[in-house]
A and B are shown apart, each in its own frame.
Chain A
Amino acid sequence: ETGVTQTPRHLVMGMTNKKSLKCEQHLGHNAMYWYKQSAKKPLELMFVYNFKEQTENNSVPSRFSPECPNSSHLFLHLHTLQPEDSALYLCASSQDLNEQYFGPGTRLTVT
């Protein structure tokens, strides 16, 4: 596979469930990002990882827990989410300060 992939593409979960989103990049980049895109709102940066180290946490609630085991993989662990967390979650990667390449996103619905 090439580029940035995300699984699953669609996820419906209850407020008491625990699930994880996965992102994988095949571009050899050293930085990875999680963004949240809600309807009618600009993209919101959630987390930044560079060389597996978290360098940005944009005041994200603790019910979202990121994990970056290596430079190619990024996870977002979800637990006890709220309906307002329903959104498109986009993963991106970049090499240093250059343009970010995005995955197709996971459309999350919390019921």
Chain B
Amino acid sequence: AQKITQTQPGMFVQEKEAVTLDCTYDTSDQSYGLFWYKQPSSGEMIFLIYQGSYDEQNATEGRYSLNFQKARKSANLVISASQLGDSAMYFCAMREGLYNQGGKLIFGQGTELSVKP
């Protein structure tokens, strides 16, 4: 069964507008972490934001915020005031459980975001 689902293969947004990238997950664990990464055309995966399953507040990092709805098992990424440099692939990922030796991330298929000038 797919653990991480990103239903939007591609998204367009006008520069300076906000955009929401969807992510739903499936797990029976009580302890887990959710991550968003950005991958520009250069290939490097850039960590953006993290939300723990026990965190009561939605995570925010600058223009990025994570809309965490635990009951719906969704962890959408909101990018405010989009910039041209935000054009990239965006991956949602989940780490299940508590591993004592490294964290195994499961990635979604990704969403390609294009910011229009």
> Please, how many angstroms separate the alpha-carbon atoms of A100 and B35 in the complex?
9
Chain A interface residue count, CB cutoff 8 Å, equals 28
- B44 with A105: CB separation less than 8 A: yes
Question: What are the residues of chain A within 8 A of B110 when measuring CB–CB?
Answer: 42
Interface residues as binary, A73-111 with B (CB distance below 8 Å gives 1, 0 otherwise): 000000000000000101010101111111111010000
Residues of chain A from 28 to 45 with CB closer than 8 A to chain B in the complex: 31, 33, 41-43, 45
- B43 with A55: CB separation less than 8 A: no
> Please, how many angstroms separate the alpha-carbon atoms of A100 and B45 in the complex?
9
- B42 with A104: CB separation less than 8 A: yes
- A31 with B101: CB separation less than 8 A: yes
> Please, how many angstroms separate the alpha-carbon atoms of A106 and B44 in the complex?
10
Question: What are the residues of chain B within 8 A of A92 when measuring CB–CB?
Answer: 45
- B102 with A49: CB separation less than 8 A: yes
> Please, how many angstroms separate the alpha-carbon atoms of A55 and B45 in the complex?
22
| Residue in contact with B102 in the complex, picked from A56, A102, A104, CB distance below 8 Å | A56
Nearest residue in A to B97 (C-beta to C-beta)? A97
Question: What are the residues of chain B within 8 A of A31 when measuring CB–CB?
Answer: 101-103
Nearest chain B CB to A6's CB is how many angstroms away?
9
Nearest residue in A to B52 (C-beta to C-beta)? A97
Question: What are the residues of chain B within 8 A of A97 when measuring CB–CB?
Answer: 33, 95, 98-99, 102-103
Is B16 located at the chain interface by the 8 A CB criterion? Answer: no
Question: What are the residues of chain B within 8 A of A96 when measuring CB–CB?
Answer: 102-103
Question: What are the residues of chain A within 8 A of B98 when measuring CB–CB?
Answer: 97
Is A50 located at the chain interface by the 8 A CB criterion? Answer: yes
Question: What are the residues of chain A within 8 A of B93 when measuring CB–CB?
Answer: 43
> Please, how many angstroms separate the alpha-carbon atoms of A31 and B105 in the complex?
13
Interface residues of chain A, those whose CB is within 8 Å of chain B, are 31, 33, 41-43, 45, 48-51, 53, 55-56, 88, 90, 92, 94, 96-105, 107
Query: Can you add 7 more A-B contacts, CB < 8 Å, to A97-B33, A98-B50, A105-B45?
Result: A45-B105, A49-B102, A90-B43, A90-B45, A92-B45, A94-B103, A97-B95
Interface residues of chain B, those whose CB is within 8 Å of chain A, are 4, 33, 35, 37, 42-47, 50, 91, 93, 95, 98-99, 101-110
